[in-house]
């Protein structure tokens, strides 16, 4: 069974910028750059421009292909950030990374903006970012779908029920979490297609940890392949999330090893991209999978 999984990559291509990132035996790695004071894992560590840029360089050195910049924490119970404040957190880093990319054309990487606000997304795309990573899948800002279309951005539709403050306390329980998440994401895909967004630019994220129980998250992690049926690539973001600490025996875990394991599960399920804090560890686990896939060292 493992040999079959390793030998058949089901990851789907994803168009980012002018490039179509091809199917690979293991997922692309998206490294997280939080320019926030209150993100759940690394809040406050990179909330100056120099610190954030240096962290981004470190993630590139560790083999990140995409840098996901977030200026607003989405941890349960977090407080919304005003639009202008989020722009002031995110956009100087986008500008600096775009300038760096122009000076270093041989070092190919892509810039993603983790935001639910269309103005933040539009300004970031204007400056040269490539991806809008909307953890609300277009539901928190009625202008976001049009912004995706107008900017020709690639987009990650991340499933959520509720909002940042309520998503873990006030959401309708699922009868069949895999089917319901799939169907709700496809409803949002149709909004983009109606606006003539290139379907190759759309990526689906089942939203691990966003308005789900620990069991819901496990069920989704086991069902990555089910989200490939519509022909869209899948991104999985399970990195260091609190549900891991709700699993039996992992209450005191620092969640690193379970995060690496989740990345491997996502890879075997056909994910095209994994979003992680710990790029080095994720990359090494993918190299190990690739060695097994090659059958030789």
Residues labelled as active-site residues: 241, 275
The span from the CA of 14 to the CA of 11, in Å, is 9
CB 130 within 8 A of CB 111: yes
CB 2 within 8 A of CB 14: no
DSSP line for 50-111: HHHHHHHHHHHHTT-SEEEEESS--STTPPP--HHHHHHHHHHHHHHHHHHHHH-TTS--EE
Residue 238's H or E segment, with its range, is none
C-alpha dist (Å) from residue 213 to 219, 230, 267: 10, 25, 22
CB 233 within 8 A of CB 12: yes
Beta bridge partners of 21: 14
Of the candidates 279, 286, 293, 289, the residue with the CA atom closest to the CA atom of residue 66: 279
């Amino acid at each position: 069974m493992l040999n079959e999984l390793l030998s058949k990559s089901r990851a789907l291509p994803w168009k980012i910028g002018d490039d179509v990132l091809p199917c690979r035996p293991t997922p692309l790695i998206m490294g997280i750059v939080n320019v926030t004071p209150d993100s759940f894992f690394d809040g406050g560590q990179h909330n100056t421009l120099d610190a954030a840029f240096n962290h981004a360089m470190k993630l590139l050195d560790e083999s990140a292909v995409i840098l996901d910049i977030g200026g607003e924490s989405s941890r349960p119970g977090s407080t919304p950030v005003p639009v202008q404040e989020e722009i002031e957190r995110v956009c100087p880093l986008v500008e600096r990374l775009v300038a760096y990319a122009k000076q270093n054309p041989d070092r190919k990487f892509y810039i993603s903006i983790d935001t639910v606000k269309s103005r933040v997304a539009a300004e970031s795309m204007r400056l040269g970012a490539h991806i809008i990573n909307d953890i609300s899948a277009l539901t928190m800002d009625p202008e976001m779908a049009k912004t995706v279309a107008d900017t020709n951005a690639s987009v990650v539709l991340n499933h959520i029920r509720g909002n940042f403050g309520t998503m873990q306390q006030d959401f309708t329980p699922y009868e069949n979490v895999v089917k319901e998440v799939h169907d709700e994401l496809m409803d949002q895909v149709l909004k983009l297609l109606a606006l003539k967004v290139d379907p190759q630019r759309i990526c689906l994220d089942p939203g691990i940890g966003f308005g789900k129980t620990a069991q819901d998250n496990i069920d989704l992690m086991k069902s990555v392949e089910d989200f490939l049926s519509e022909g869209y690539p899948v991104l999985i973001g399970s990195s260091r999330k609190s549900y891991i600490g709700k699993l039996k025996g992992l209450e005191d875990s620092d969640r690193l090893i379970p995060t690496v394991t989740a990345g491997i599960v996502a890879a075997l399920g056909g994910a095209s991209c994994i979003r992680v804090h710990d790029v080095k560890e994720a990359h090494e686990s993918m190299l190990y999978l690739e060695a097994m896939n090659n059958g030789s060292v």
